[in-house]
Every structure is written in C-alpha cells, then in structure tokens.
Structure 1
Amino acid sequence: MPSRKHCSRKNADQSGMSVSARWPALHVVLGNESCDLDSAVSAIVYAFLLHSLQNGEEAVGVVPVLNIPASEYPLKTEVTHWLQKHGILQNSLIFRDEVNLSRLQDGGSLRVTLVDHHVLPPADAYLESSVVGVLDHRPLDPNAPTNERVTMIVEPVGSCCTLVAEQVMAKNPALLDPVTASLLYGTIILDTVNLNPAAKRVTPKDIEVASQLARLMSPPPSSLEVFQELTEAKADVSGLTCDQLLRKDVKVATGGGLCVGVASVPLRVTDFLGRSEGGRCLAEHLATQGYQMLLVLGITITQETVTRDLAVYCPDTHLREQVTSALVEGQGGVLQLAPQECDGVESCVAFRQGNVGASRKVVMPILKAWLATRTS
C-alpha cells in the first residue's frame, strides 16, 4: 500500500480555503453514510488507486473520506478493529466533519467519487455537480446519475471491495501488497458471510477475486478464521448503549414528507427491545434524529448460520400499519416476514424474517417504493 500520508487528515483542507494553494483541485472518495467496513475500506483503497494513476502535470489531491463524524468512529467496531490491525489508526483518517465539502465546491475545487453507494442522500444533493465517478455493488437506482461525465462502475456483487480489487488488479496491481490484499480480502469475506451461497450474497466474481487476493498473502489466510474474527468484532457491542447501537450502522430514507431511519444492529431485534431502556431509547432516538419512523434490522451469525428479524417503531398508528403492509407484501413478500413478540414496547411491531439473504439492500427499495407513493 502507498504511504498512508496520502490519506492523512493533514492533507484535507478542513476550512476549504487554501486547497488551490496545494493542489488545483481536491478529489474526495466518499463512502456511504453507514460507514460499514465495506464502505470504509473501499474508500481508502480506491483513493490510493486514483492517486497512483494520476498524471503528474494534472495531479490533484485524492483523499478518502469516511462519511461519519469522527466522534462516531468508535461505534464501528469491526471497522476500527480491521483498520487498526492493518496499521491504520483513527488519527490518519479523514471524517466527514473534518473537511468542508460545501466550501470546496463553492470554490470550484472539488471532485467527488462515490463508493459503496451511487445516489446522494438529500442532505448531500448539492454535491451532485461535483460527482465524477461511481463504484458500487447495489442494483442501479432509477435516480442514479446519468451525466456522461460521471464514470459509472455499478455491478451487483457481494462486496464493493470486490469491484475495488478488480479495478486495482486491472489498473495498478503493484498496489496489492499483502496489507492492501488483506484489507480487501477480509471485507469481502465478511460481506459474503464467508463466501457462503446460503446467505445469498456471494457471486462468482466475489469468489474469484477473494481467491486471487488470498494468493497474495503468506501464508494464505483461513477464510473461516477471518470471518469469525470480523464477526466477533462487529458483534462486540457490550459497551454500547441502545442509542449508540441505533447510530452504529444506519441509513436514512426520505419521501412524502417523512424521514425514516433504517438501523442495522448485530443482535436480534427481540434482544435489543428486551433491554431495559429499549422502548424509551426508541422514542428518544426518534426525537433527537428527527425521524417520523424507525426500522431496526437485527442480524446474528453463528457458525455461518444467519438469522434476521425486523421491527418497525412509529408512534403514528396509521403510518406504522401502512409501512408494515408494504414490508410484508413488498416484492411479492420477498422478506418472508412472520409476526413475533416485541416485549410490550409501545408503537412497535416486530417480525421474524424468513429470507435471511435479504439484507438492508432489499429492505431499502421496498421502503423507498412505499415512500414514493405518499404525498407530503
């Protein structure tokens, strides 16, 4: 991996005032707002690749930006574990609240490449004119950029890091030292549940790329040991409050005058709701985040066995019933939801999810389709 000085926060002009004095432009590689391991590693490695491919006469500053405030980084337990293990400490990273993208854009000195997402959330819509590239593994959204100046690499594979690794192999394979290969490999293994077809997330390309990366490490890693290590790190939420759990891995969907949080938690929803402060925390979290509704997606993985459940919290009974129907019936009932108890938490309904391969990537389109039917 190239020197980590290229992703040091010292190279990101936090005020956005003097970038032109250092570079003619700043090229930000921006992960998604959940900042899971796939998003973080994709941003870091892809930024190194873009930096390495620059023509010296047209060089710009290329920096990865983790799309969360620095204060939330400790919540990403698998991210902190995996990056620290590979020598990347928090003080060598750049977080969203440490660089003023709006001011940089106003000054005409900003380029943005999106990784692990390809549609900007409403709060970031102002960045659209600065987007020059996209690298993502989600199904193409109808609202995806269509401007010819945007280089689009979108392919439905199990992990965005699979596409990052493929790009590095094709354009500058010298970057794939054992550290970089391991960063990418572990992320792919976690995202695909150890390349397990039963989880319905792995593709032949994920398997092939992971195999190529493994050959670059000596000795070749045990995928099961890597998977167990990262799963344990992700599930280590013993020190987190309910509110921190809800902020650990969250996406936001908006439409029809509503703002909906969709939080993934690494435990069963029933266990989360059973915490003594669970019900009170939902109400407080809704108020502080400005949501009208909150979806909590639970997941546990034991010996590669995946279980999922889901809860909908919404004080408005009519809205709760509407979105519940949409989730149960959406895409022909793809989630395979069955009611379950939610420990008497008011304004909340919970479900077991029969389709354990349906992650938030499946839930979000159903939710967005329902929001699109509403009028504000």
Structure 2
Amino acid sequence: MTLLQFLRQARQVHLQFPSGALSEPPVYVLGNPSADLDSIISAIVYSYCASTRLPSTTPCPHVPLLNLPGVPSGPELYRLRPEFVTALWLSTGFPSLTPDERFENSSESAGKVLREHIVTVADFAQSLQEHTTSKCLVADATMVDWNAMPHRVGGQKGHGSVAGLSGVSFRTVGCIDHHVDEHFVPSQDSLPANQPLIIQPGPGSCSSLITNELVRRGLWAADASSAESAQLAKLALAAILIDTSNLTAEGKVTDVDIQAVKFLREQVAKEDPKWDAEAFYEEIHSAKANSLDLLTLDEVLDRDYKDWSETSSSGESVKLGFCSSVKPIRWIVEKAGEPQQFLDAVRAFAAGKKLDVVVVMTSFTSAEDEFSRELFVCAMSDCDAAVKAAEAFVEQAGSHLGLERWSPVDCKCPDSTEHEIRSTLDGNSGHWRRLWLQTNTTASRKQVAPLLRNAVASL
C-alpha cells in the first residue's frame, strides 16, 4: 500500500468512528500540540506500520491525528505547515507510484490532497458536530513525541483529552517519546500486551526512536514493496534530518538518530540508488525557514508552541508558555513593526493563553553562517511567583545556557535599532523581561523548558 493510499484509508476509518459505524474504535496516533514536522511524521510513520498489527492481541486500524485544534486539513494546513507538505510531496511524488497520486506543491493542489488524506483535531471536532451526540466518546491513543495530555480525565493514569476536542476522552495504550517523562502514561503492565512504552530523552528526533522500534519489532513496512518502503523512509528521514540539521547539530545527534538514518537511507537506496538526500533536506529546510513569511505575528508565536503548568514548593501554580521560531528576534520585531509592538503582541498572546511566563526561543543561521539561538523571557506583572521563577531560572541556568548580552547576529543593523530592541525587551518596567543570545546552542526547548520548570519548583 502506498503512503497516500494508507492515509486515505485511515481518514475513511476515522470518518466512520463518530457516526458509530465502527464496532470498535481505531487507535489514534497523536502527536504533541506544537504539531511540528517530527510530531506529524512520527504519527504517520508509526500508524502506517502498526495499523492492523497492534495491539498484538486485538490488532486494529491506526489513524494519525494531527494535534491542531484550529486548523482543518486543506489549504490552511498547507499555509501553516508548508515543510510537512513539501516532505510529503517529495516522499510520494518522485516518482508517484500511481497516476492518481500526483499533485503539485501548491495551495490548491496540495490542499485537496491534504483534505482527502489527513485528519486534524479540528477535523475530528467537525465530525463530532456533524454527528451530534450527548455522550463523550472514548478512543484509544498511542502518544508520539510527547507523553502527557494537558487535560486529565477521571483521575485515571493515561486518560486525558486535548484542546479543541473535549468531547473525546483518550485512553493511552502506548507511547514513544524523546522528552522528559511527565508520569502521565501508565506502566508497561497496565498497557495492552506488547504495546510500546519508550520515553527516552536524548535522541534528536522522535522519528528516530520510532523507526528503530518498528525495525526491532519487524513491523517496518512489513507488507510493503520496496518502492512503498522507500516512500515511508523518505518521510521519516525528513523529520530526522530537519530536527538534527542534517545530522550536524552538536549535542542533538545520538547513536539512535545515526542508526535510524542508516537504515532509512538503505531503504531508499534499494529503490533509488542515486537519490540526492542533500537536495531533499535543503528543499524541506527552505520550506520551513520561509514558512513564517505568510503568517501573522500571532500565528508566528503560536506555530510551534507548548505550555506547562508547574507548582512551586509553596503550592503556587505557574503556567509557562514556550514559542519557538526559526527566524531571529530582529525579524519578528520587524514583522511586528517596532520593538514595543512586538512586546505588546507577546503580552497579548500570553494573556490569551493565561500564561504567567512567556518564552520566545529562536534558532537560525547567523550572518557568519553559524547556528545561533536567542532567548526572550517575559514574566507577567500580576504574578509575583512568575518574576521569582524567571530570576531563579537566570541564576540556576544562565551559566549553563551561556546567556549573554543580546546583539543581532543575523545581520548588521543600525546601532539605534539594536539599542531600541535591547532597551525595550530588556527591563523591569511593567513586566520583568530579558533578551539574550544563548551561546549554548545545543540546548533547545527540550532542555530549556525543564530548567524553567525546575526554577518554579524550587521556589
């Protein structure tokens, strides 16, 4: 079965679930709320290989579910996640295995393909509205690229719901993730037999963990032709190579990633020995780097966003939100208009999410062609614990992260502009806020978020 054939079939299975046409629900494979490339592809690759093979005692269809509560599949998904569409296009179209699977990497053509093959949380919610029911649906879920749902249901471990889909309660039946364990997923003994439970911080990409686990279990494209396996391998490579900067990201690349890439490239080489992996990576990287150009400032902040609520030792809850961007602060400020407008937009965004601390992390290539990071932290003025947490974070983690006085490294800008950005985004009036260059570029959100959470817990 080709990748697109599987996705179309999985969507059709999903459409039968809210209507009650299925005697047993499918397993939804659900990625994290930032719905980045790794999260989306992890869900698709795992679903393709596990569908009708797991759980081992009662195999059933698996449906990849993109965790996007406000984005239906179609042209809007194309606009907001062009790097995913580019990866899907390059993986399935060169060559396409059936004539009807050819599509263009454009809003109209790709939008139609997405609408017919992909399910988002927004699509799921729409399906529920079309089949009005007063009862809450219960569905099984395998979590990939995260390990804790934001809303816990019924006090039972592993039972939860996600934003935008309050009418569905998910029962976690498996998990593969490379983040810190949030202790939401049940123990292995509590999961259905032979279901995966891998929470292993370290690897640069969750898709690496998933690839290696599927290979270990003998589930990798088990009934697929070499051409179909090559499609899936290319898609998995897209996530791993982007997350590890083509296996060059210092501190992010592990043996897990290297092993997965070696296997996946072998699968592609069986079908296409002359495949240009470098060009493949560059095209997807370019799509991601340019993906923010068509977005509003609020969409830029929300595009790759995660939040956590942490409780201090004194019992005070502090909600932390992290926005990640592949464009530098200077670029985002210019998009806002000026530094004060950027700051106002960040504050409004934080207020809308009910955050006590909002963090903007950037990662990009500098004018000197070096991988660079910036870090902006803003504590909301009406939460004393937020300011204390931010200050504790600087004291506890500042040296480790190599936080230094900010100056633009993506280009040379006028001294007056540099001064205005720094003076506006670095101060205590109204809100405590700081802007730094983060010279420890190996520390991504996966490392920085736990440091801020620990700072809250230490209060």
Question: What TM-score results when the alignment is normalised by the length of structure 1?
Answer: 0.86
Per the alignment, residue 200 of structure 1 pairs with 251
Q: 2:207 aligns with which of 161, 164, 175?
A: 161
Give the letter aligned to residue 86 of structure 1.
S
Q: 2:231 aligns with which of 168, 176, 179?
A: 179
Give the 5 Å matches for 1:12-161: 12-13=14-15, 16-18=18-20, 21-54=21-54, 58-69=58-69, 70-71=71-72, 73=77, 74-87=79-92, 89-91=113-115, 92-99=117-124, 106-108=136-138, 110-122=139-151, 126-127=160-161, 130-142=171-183, 144-146=185-187, 148-150=189-191, 151-155=196-200, 156-161=202-207
Counting matched residue pairs gives 370
Once the two structures are overlaid, the 10-residue window that deviates more, 112-121 or 299-308, is 299-308
Give the letter aligned to residue 201 of structure 1.
K
Deviation readout 1:151-195 (Å, 9 max, x if unpaired): 412233111111221133232333461110100112111111111
Give the letter aligned to residue 126 of structure 1.
G
Per the alignment, residue 312 of structure 1 pairs with 377
Per the alignment, residue 344 of structure 1 pairs with 424
Give the 5 Å matches for 1:238-249: 238-249=293-304
Give the letter aligned to residue 203 of structure 2.
V
Rounded to whole Å, the distance in 1 between the matches of 2:188 and 2:54 is 22
Structure 2 vs 1, CA of residues 42 and 273 (structure 1 numbering), >3 Å: closer, same or farther?
Answer: same
Structure 2 vs 1, CA of residues 353 and 328 (structure 1 numbering), >3 Å: closer, same or farther?
Answer: same
Rounded to whole Å, the distance in 1 between the matches of 2:208 and 2:394 is 32
Rounded to whole Å, the distance in 2 between the matches of 1:66 and 1:146 is 25
Given that 2:204 and 2:244 are in contact with CA atoms closer than 8 Å, whether structure 1 keeps it comes out as yes
Deviation at 1:201, TM superposition (A): 0.3
Structure 2 vs 1, CA of residues 104 and 94 (structure 1 numbering), >3 Å: closer, same or farther?
Answer: farther
- Secondary structure (helix, strand or coil) at the match of 2:51 reads helix
Structure 2 vs 1, CA of residues 15 and 144 (structure 1 numbering), >3 Å: closer, same or farther?
Answer: closer
Task: Show structure 1 runs of 5+ residues with no match.
Answer: none
Per the alignment, residue 211 of structure 1 pairs with 262
Given that 2:305 and 2:323 are in contact with CA atoms closer than 8 Å, whether structure 1 keeps it comes out as yes
Rounded to whole Å, the distance in 1 between the matches of 2:380 and 2:65 is 36
Report % sequence identity.
24
Deviation readout 1:309-330 (Å, 9 max, x if unpaired): 1101234185554233233233
Rounded to whole Å, the distance in 2 between the matches of 1:229 and 1:154 is 31
Given that 2:374 and 2:438 are in contact with CA atoms closer than 8 Å, whether structure 1 keeps it comes out as yes
Structure 2 vs 1, CA of residues 343 and 81 (structure 1 numbering), >3 Å: closer, same or farther?
Answer: farther
Structure 2 vs 1, CA of residues 123 and 304 (structure 1 numbering), >3 Å: closer, same or farther?
Answer: farther
Rounded to whole Å, the distance in 2 between the matches of 1:240 and 1:126 is 31
Give the letter aligned to residue 60 of structure 1.
C
Structure 2 vs 1, CA of residues 8 and 52 (structure 1 numbering), >3 Å: closer, same or farther?
Answer: closer
- Secondary structure (helix, strand or coil) at the match of 1:16 reads coil
Per the alignment, residue 440 of structure 2 pairs with 355
Deviation at 1:79, TM superposition (A): 1.9
Q: 2:344 aligns with which of 264, 280, 285?
A: 280
- Secondary structure (helix, strand or coil) at the match of 1:284 reads helix
Per the alignment, residue 230 of structure 1 pairs with 284
Deviation at 1:221, TM superposition (A): 4.0
Deviation at 1:99, TM superposition (A): 2.2
Give the letter aligned to residue 265 of structure 1.
S
Rounded to whole Å, the distance in 2 between the matches of 1:145 and 1:337 is 38
Rounded to whole Å, the distance in 2 between the matches of 1:29 and 1:305 is 36
Rounded to whole Å, the distance in 2 between the matches of 1:352 and 1:107 is 47
Given that 1:23 and 1:60 are in contact with CA atoms closer than 8 Å, whether structure 2 keeps it comes out as no
Rounded to whole Å, the distance in 2 between the matches of 1:286 and 1:203 is 34
Which structure's CA Rg is the greater one?
2
Question: What TM-score results when the alignment is normalised by the length of structure 2?
Answer: 0.72
Given that 2:379 and 2:390 are in contact with CA atoms closer than 8 Å, whether structure 1 keeps it comes out as no
Give the letter aligned to residue 294 of structure 1.
V
